[in-house]
Structure 1
Amino acid sequence: MLNYNLAVPDVHDAGVLSALVAEGDELDVLVRAVDDWSVPTPAPGWTVAHQIAHLAWADANVLSALRTPDAFGAELGRAQAEGSGYADQAAAAGAARPRQVLLDQWRAGRAELAAALRDTPWDHAFPWYMSKVTPALMAPLRLMETWAHGQDVFDAVGVAHRPTDRLRHVASLGVLGRALSFAAVGLPEPADLFCVELTAPGGGTWVWGPEAARQRVQGSAVDFCLCVTRRRPRSETDLTASGEDAQKWLELARVFL
């Protein structure tokens, strides 16, 4: 599902764990106020319940991989056997649970995961799908997925999703995922250096890469995050690109397979 080769530029901030908890808590406030979890979300076939079930399932899988890596091998086998329907089947099974049961499961699981990541050495490698990861990488990955699936829920119920500086962790993964974006369609990562310059929610500027780079991406951080998590097509964002490779990247951009 992903392979970042354990390289984690700009996400070694221990504050990412606090950001992960805050992101989950914000989504929790929203879904508590939604009585009907059968409301469809932008993901085809997924309701609000599917979104929360997916987050709960993924948190449980991370805990399994972290604590019992040998047992997690069985989950990897299921993923390979079930192929593209793997995540959909797990989400459907979770969504069939009573609303309060699913909500309690998600709350307990995300709290347990945050504590487990906090108590594990930041550079400890453990298995994940198609790769190995560390808590230093998994924490922002869980934040990214919580934010992205949360965006689906915010969109479904028609509530504005207030951007915060927690998005810096998501944007960092987006920058890191450039090689993944090209590899996903069978292309090599461009050799040129890139500069990514984003306007933060608070009005500052976040920059990755040399400012003199010929390949440049600019725009708002929230639009960049929506693009790399594939919640909005590039055409619906304010992102601009200079350079052929930068243009191509925005067409392909992703942080997961």
Structure 2
Amino acid sequence: MKTILNDFIAEQSLVDALVNDLTDEQWQRPLPDVEMWNIKDAIIHIAFFDYAATKLIAGEAEDLVSFSEVESGQDQYVRATKFHHLTGPEVLSWWREVRTRLVNQLYDKNPKDRVPWAPGLPMSAKSLASARLMELWAHSVDIYDALGLDPIVKDRITSTLFLSWQARPNAYRINNLEMPDTPIYLELKLPSGEIWAKGDQGAENYIKGSAKDWALVSIRRRNWMDTELEVVGEEARRYASIVQTYAGWADPAPKAKRQR
């Protein structure tokens, strides 16, 4: 738990530095692949769900859906419009406040403590920390893309990699597919050079390559065909096409620029 929270703080600091000196024009810059969102919307979204988590941990809200409906002013583009009046620097200041509160709450939790999240589906404090870290990195990719920068990836991306594997059954379910018993092997090289792997090493269906490429695919920001991933076997190709680290409906992958 401490390792995840330390990773969470490090990633927060990295994203904070990314947006700290943005101009007013840059705060309004649209995100390339998120309809009607700009950079300020991305930070509002991150801050709001950190804020929601603090309320749920404290027992001041019943579940994420009902809290969001009342508190966010969510529109058809899933933007928290209630906070649109804030300037970019004001949004950043708010995020700093709520993320500090969230991390302090999580440090005081047993990793197995249950926290209400989706209606009727609580998650452990450790899983909540991993999910918040994954979502933070996913939306930071949107900001990097909007600024024309290459997303930064550290070894702490393992939380996102784990969720890509752990959520595989859900990826099939939300795409109305039956998950087969076909063994799959996932082998990824972290920025440090270490190997992160899951599954049956002898499987005929496998995915190998950089952790960065797979993480970008699993948060639905890149199509696997546009990466250097080695994806072998029919089931591995299907997994790479539907993998999704976050809950909700099935999001389409970006349209592939090349076919293979």
Under TM normalisation by the shorter chain, which class is it?
Answer: 0.7 to 0.9
1:61–1:72 CA contact under 8 A, matched in 2: no
Mapped partners of 1:32, 1:129: distance in 2? 32
Aligned counterpart, 2:162: 172
Aligned counterpart, 2:175: 185
Code of the residue aligned with 1:66 in structure 2: it is I
Q: Alpha carbons of 1:187 and 1:79: their partners in 2 closer, same or farther (altered >3 Å)?
A: farther
Is residue 160 from structure 1 mapped to residue 150 from structure 2 by the alignment? yes
What TM-score comes out, normalization by structure 2 length?
A: 0.86
Structure 2 unmatched runs, 5+: 249-260
Q: Alpha carbons of 1:96 and 1:190: their partners in 2 closer, same or farther (altered >3 Å)?
A: farther
Mapped partners of 1:76, 1:159: distance in 2? 33
Q: Alpha carbons of 1:14 and 1:189: their partners in 2 closer, same or farther (altered >3 Å)?
A: farther
Aligned counterpart, 1:127: 116
2:164–2:218 CA contact under 8 A, matched in 1: yes
Q: How far is 1:40 from its partner? A: 0.8
Q: How far is 1:219 from its partner? A: 1.4
Q: How far is 1:79 from its partner? A: 5.8
Identity %: 27
Is residue 196 from structure 1 mapped to residue 186 from structure 2 by the alignment? yes
2:20–2:89 CA contact under 8 A, matched in 1: no
Mapped partners of 2:36, 2:139: distance in 1? 14
Code of the residue aligned with 1:135 in structure 2: it is A
Aligned counterpart, 2:50: 59
Aligned counterpart, 1:4: none
Code of the residue aligned with 1:190 in structure 2: it is P
Mapped partners of 1:106, 1:215: distance in 2? 42
Aligned counterpart, 1:45: 36
Mapped partners of 1:27, 1:66: distance in 2? 24
Is residue 15 from structure 1 mapped to residue 3 from structure 2 by the alignment? yes
Mapped partners of 1:89, 1:121: distance in 2? 32
The alignment covers a number of residue pairs equal to 241
Which structure has the higher relative contact order (CA within 8 Å, separation 6+)?
1
Question: 1:68-105 CA distances to partner (integer Å, 9 max, x unpaired)?
Answer: 16x334x52366899x9467241x33233122221111
1:54–1:94 CA contact under 8 A, matched in 2: no
2:5–2:129 CA contact under 8 A, matched in 1: yes
CA RMSD of aligned residues (A): 2.1
SS across alignment from 2:122: strand
Mapped partners of 2:194, 2:123: distance in 1? 31
1:79–1:86 CA contact under 8 A, matched in 2: no
Code of the residue aligned with 2:55 in structure 1: it is S
Question: 1:204-238 CA distances to partner (integer Å, 9 max, x unpaired)?
Answer: 21111221123311111001100010111112212
Code of the residue aligned with 1:61 in structure 2: it is A
Q: Alpha carbons of 1:79 and 1:100: their partners in 2 closer, same or farther (altered >3 Å)?
A: closer
Aligned counterpart, 1:225: 215
- Segment drifting more, 183-192 vs 146-155: 183-192
Q: Alpha carbons of 1:23 and 1:86: their partners in 2 closer, same or farther (altered >3 Å)?
A: farther
Question: 1:107-163 CA distances to partner (integer Å, 9 max, x unpaired)?
Answer: 011111111111111101121125211111111111111111011111111222222
Mapped partners of 1:45, 1:80: distance in 2? 19
Q: Alpha carbons of 1:95 and 1:22: their partners in 2 closer, same or farther (altered >3 Å)?
A: farther
Q: How far is 1:188 from its partner? A: 2.3
Is residue 118 from structure 1 mapped to residue 107 from structure 2 by the alignment? yes
Code of the residue aligned with 2:35 in structure 1: it is P
Q: Which structure's residues are more often helix, by fraction?
A: 1
Mapped partners of 1:41, 1:141: distance in 2? 22
SS across alignment from 1:72: coil
Structure 1 unmatched runs, 5+: 1-12
1:78–1:86 CA contact under 8 A, matched in 2: no
Q: How far is 1:197 from its partner? A: 0.2
